[in-house]
Amino acid sequence: MGKLIINGGKRLQGELSLQGSKNAVLPVMAAAALCTGGNGSASSTGKITLTNCPVISDRFCAGRILSSLGARVTGSGNTCLIDPTYIDNSVIESSLMRSMRSSVIFMGALLGRTGHCTLCYPGGCDLGPRPIDMHLSSLRKMGAVIEDEHGKIECTAPKGLSGCRISLSFPSVGATENIMLAAATAQGETIISNAAREPEICCLADFLRLCGGRISGDGGGRIVISGVEKLTFPEEEEFSIIPDRIAATTYLSAVACTGGELLLTDCNPVHLEAVIPVFEQMGCYVRCFGSSIYIHRRERVKPAETIRTMVYPGFPTDTQAVVMSPLCTASGTTVFVENIFENRYRHTDALCRMGADIRAEGKVAVVTGVKELYGTTADAPDLRGGAAIVCAALGANGTSEIYRTEYIDRGYEDIDGNLRSLGADITRG
Ligand code: UD1
């Protein structure tokens, strides 16, 4: 079992190029399954080139799903090449389904591509109940017949999928993506109201538009999709995945934990508008210019105003854990209210073992700053919770050993190499 060994207390300093977004690359890879080959001519094969892909295990899991469906997935480093021409299978094995939550968005793509799909309930981080009722009811509304027996989901679209009006009871990111994928090649127009507005939704819409999809309104609460006959990735084009706003916040939090300065390049500061003011409240000096963010933390951090997780453009639930780490040693108390998931304070046990004073009950966590944290041994409880423990350990006195690193590697590209390049004493054991 892999572990990260961190000797804390080293000030971070330097420059880092930010990775591409995990939550953007996964739906785009699912969308690749919807694309059919070019127009048959030798110059138009319909092969897809994705750049700025993060080198993380979830991306490779999506690649394995695509390969199991009959696509050819190659490429190295940050480039992923997908040839979806020969997709002929629409059954996703349960081992692949269970390895990540995003496997569920292949449902909309496969229904659109083959008119059928068989899968089981997805896995992913345990953040409390994660139902997919909105995904299923929306696809049913579009004409899918879905049988859900003992966790096995069998979907068919005997008459094809048809556009319709869908009003989401909550702006679910995954449900919005699944509907967009199913609607892209459905008959007629689909209107999603109360749609998710996250930047990753816009990235998916940009990819679909590049392939000939007709979508408008993404980034707002009302998305209109007019189904087209087929989607084809244009020859000679490349599609670049947006920067990862959650990884960006993690590196800013790491610096807020240790003190020091960081220039984070290749990011989109606009996507971080809800989190940057929190670092400023902590007393960090933060400046954004172009696609870079500079952060400098000199003094002990100050407490922040109450942090309430919200859908975009509010404060992201995915950054709640990592932002809590520096606030554990603030000169006062910060209150967190987690509004999106029921069980997203699982990192607090480890932080308390490090000496933090955190009272978490239900949606609320009260973090009273202590003078310092101490190294500990802990399991990463989930992806972002694991990253939060890494940040806290970087700023703590003494050595920490963090196990279950497979959670962290699902979403962070070379987190130990990146932090080492900034002066952290972090190794893999
Ligand atoms: C995505 C992100 C995840 C992030 C979350 C919220 C990816 C791969 N993952 O997850 O990192 O934390 O958005 O920003 O992009 N819900 C239902 N029924 C449904 C669907 C969702 O009740 O059918 C509830 C969920 O239980 C949760 C809330 O809606 O309480 C938000 O979930 P959703 O936006 O769907 O999150 P994901 O797409 O799973």
Tens of pLDDT, residues 257-266: 999 999 999 9
Does residue 402 sit in the same domain as residue 334? yes
Q: What is the mean pLDDT of the chain?
A: 94
* Identity of the residue numbered 233: F
More confident residue, 120 or 37: 120
Give how many domains the chain has, as a whole number.
Answer: 2
CB 324, CB 278: distance < 8 Å: no
277 vs 221: CA distance, rounded Å: 24
CB 26, CB 59: distance < 8 Å: yes
**CA nearest to 227, candidates 182, 193, 194, 177:** 182
Q: Angle at Cα 111 formed by Cα 44 and Cα 158, nearest 5°?
A: 115
Out of 225, 240, 255, a domain closes at 240
Task: State which ligand 1 atom lies nearest to the alpha carbon of 100.
Answer: 8
Active site residue 80: no
173 vs 202: CA distance, rounded Å: 11
Out of 215, 240, 265, a domain closes at 240
Does residue 313 sit in the same domain as residue 233? no
Residue that has been written with the tokens 């916040």 in this structure? 249
Q: Determine the pLDDT at residue 42.
A: 47
Does residue 81 sit in the same domain as residue 116? yes
Band of residue 45 on the pLDDT scale cut at 50, 70, 90 = low
Query: Does position 59 have pLDDT exceeding 70, yes or no?
Result: yes
Window from 34-38, 227-231, 273-277 with minimum mean pLDDT: 34-38
328: containing domain: 3-15+244-428
Does residue 226 sit in the same domain as residue 269? no
Does residue 201 sit in the same domain as residue 290? no
CA of 40 to the centre of ligand 1 (A): 39
Between the CA of residue 319 and those of 144, 188, 387, what are the distances in Å? 35, 38, 10
Band of residue 46 on the pLDDT scale cut at 50, 70, 90 = low
Mean pLDDT, residues 285-301:
97
Query: Does position 37 have pLDDT exceeding 80, yes or no?
Result: no
425 vs 103: CA distance, rounded Å: 35
Q: How many CB atoms lie within 10 A of CB 299?
A: 10
Does residue 101 sit in the same domain as residue 148? yes
Share of the chain above pLDDT 70, in %: 96
Residue to mutate, 170, 342, 344, ligand 1, most ligand atoms under 8 Å from C-beta: 170
Q: Which is catalytic among the residues 125, 257, 267, 391?
A: 125
Query: Does position 122 have pLDDT exceeding 90, yes or no?
Result: no
Mean pLDDT, residues 37-52:
70
Summarised one tens digit per residue, pLDDT across range 174-233 is 999 999 999 999 999 999 999 999 999 999 999 999 999 999 999 999 999 999 999 999
What is the H or E stretch that residue 357 is in? strand 357-361
Task: State which ligand 1 atom lies nearest to the alpha carbon of 130.
Answer: 26
Out of 240, 267, 284, a domain closes at 240
Q: Determine the pLDDT at residue 128.
A: 65
The arrangement of strands across the sheet holding 285-289 comes to 12-17, 260-265, 292-297, 285-289
Query: Does position 70 have pLDDT exceeding 60, yes or no?
Result: yes
Does residue 263 sit in the same domain as residue 401? yes
Mean pLDDT, residues 235-255:
97
Summarised one tens digit per residue, pLDDT across range 330-382 is 999 999 999 999 889 999 999 999 999 999 999 999 999 999 999 999 999 99
Residue to mutate, 101, 172, 181, ligand 1, most ligand atoms under 8 Å from C-beta: 172
Q: Determine the pLDDT at residue 127.
A: 65
Ligand 1 surroundings by CB, under 6 angstroms: 23, 26, 101-102, 129-135, 170, 172-175, 200, 317-318, 340-341
Does residue 156 sit in the same domain as residue 177? yes
